[in-house]
Amino acid sequence: MSSQANIHKQDSNKSEGPAVIQPPAMLGMLGGGQLGRFFVIAAHEMGYKVTVLDPDKHSPAGSIADVHLCAAFDDAAALQTMAQTCQAISTEFENVPAETLATLAQSTVVHPSAAAVAIAQHRVKEKTFFQQAGLPVGPFVAVNSESDLPADGDMYPAVLKVARFGYDGKGQARVANQAEAKAAFAGFKHEVCVLEKMLALDLEVSVVLARDVHGNIAAFTTAENSHLNGILDISIVPARCSEVIKANAQELAKKLATRLDYVGVLGVEFFVVGQQLLINEIAPRPHNSGHYTLDACITDQFEQQVRVITGQALGSPALHSNAVMVNILGDSWLYSGEQHEPAWDKAFAHGNLKMHLYGKQEPRKARKMGHFTVIGDDAQAVLNTARIARSELHIGE
């Protein structure tokens, strides 16, 4: 089927770069969550071995890795082991200390770079980078102290977000005026924040891409995203918006990755306001909205991550089916007030539904436990089936 997804070849005559890392080399993954788990699966399929560093002894990735180093991300002994045994290392979690990446990069191949991750893990640095790179971004104010909070006016209503360690709606507060902003800032213990003006959004879309050391970029099809309580709920691919917006999102994502000199898999989230695209934030790793690639693309985002860090050629990101991805949170186990297993048989009864459960032991409210993707040729039929399965699993109730 037709797709916006493409591989952009860099024209410059760059050097050949480091030697390609061949199977069965040992690769390293910082972080043991579901993104790391899918990386391990992809690496194993391609013939590689994987060492996972994660402090959780029951981590989804660590449980299937060849080696699980159960230690903190700044544990000196664990980092030394990774540096000595892994020929290339990546991350699945943007809050891994940038210093950890920098330390490992002294001894082995590490993608993405510590510099790129440091920008992505700090909202003020991130927004400032977009602005200075000439990329479209919504109105924002860096808040280092209470005096930085603007008086009542055009910046409100707004969202106050902590600069670091916020994700899936955590560390955020909607504020209608300066007084509410001051209260929220105090609630965040006066940590550095960014105040973002709330916009009348028509749509939220994202682009996931892979960029290699030579500057080649493989961009996946633009996805349309909807969130529930700050957490991604549904991704529809291709996005239901104009071809111009979809193409512009692709080009802006590529421009951003190039300006950042990014190497790895990158998720770029956009706000659509009328015909205008504004960059919301980036994720220096595979992205939740790119999970559809596991079932609907020739090459998925996790295989691309393996390909990039090992120096292999990028795979085709082409879309072969329409897709709708739905997140499954711990709420599906808890919707009736007591814990029970969801009705998996009802979901599996849909022949074009692909189920992915992450192996997490304890379902908790708002915890990502898995996802499913419905694929097919008829976009509306795919969406209808996804909505039925979503209801059968009591998602969003």
75 is annotated as contributing to ligand binding: no
Which of 333, 300, 299, 320 is closest to 377 using CA atoms?
320
**Calpha distance 117→373 (Å, rounded):** 29
58 is in an annotated binding site: no
First to last CA, the chain: 35
| 264 annotated binding-site participant | no
Two structure tokens written together for 153: 């006016």
Q: Is 397 annotated as ligand-binding?
A: no
Q: Is 189 annotated as a binding residue?
A: no
Phi, psi of 60 (to 5 degrees): -55, -40
- Tell whether 212 is in a known binding site: no
161 assigned binding-site residue: yes
Is 396 annotated as a binding-site member? Answer: no
Q: Is 376 annotated as a binding residue?
A: no
The response to whether 17 counts as a known ligand-binding position is no
Give the sign of the dihedral formed by CA 19, CA 20, CA 24, CA 29.
positive
Tokens of 246: 């979809």
311 carries a ligand binding annotation: no
Please tell me whether residue 281 adopts helix, strand or coil conformation.
Answer: strand
Give dist(CA 180, CA 389) in Å, integer. 40
Find out whether 191 is annotated in a ligand binding site: no
Instruction: Transcribe 102-121 into DSSP letters.
Output: HHHHTTSEESS-HHHHHHHT
Is 307 annotated as belonging to a binding site? no
Q: How far apart are CA 281 and CA 382, in angstroms?
A: 28
Query: In the chain, where do the E strands start and end?
Result: 6-8, 26-30, 49-53, 67-69, 88-91, 109-110, 140-143, 158-162, 172-175, 193-197, 203-211, 217-219, 223-228, 231-237, 264-273, 276-283, 322-329, 353-357, 368-376
Annotated binding residue 227: yes
Buried b (16+ CB within 10 A) or exposed e, 229-250: eebbbbbbbbbebeeebbebbb
Name the phi and psi angles at 271, rounded to 5. Answer: -100, 140
Helix axis angle, 34-45 relative to 301-310, nearest 10°? Answer: 70
Cα 355 to Cα 62, 115, 390, distances in angstroms: 21, 36, 12
Return the structure tokens found at 98: 């940038």
Q: Is 196 annotated as a binding residue?
A: yes
Backbone torsions φ then ψ of 180, nearest 5 degrees: -65, -35
Annotated binding site: which residue ranges?
123, 161, 166-172, 196-199, 204, 227, 280-281
Annotated binding site for ATP: which residue ranges?
123, 161, 166-172, 196-199, 204, 227, 280-281
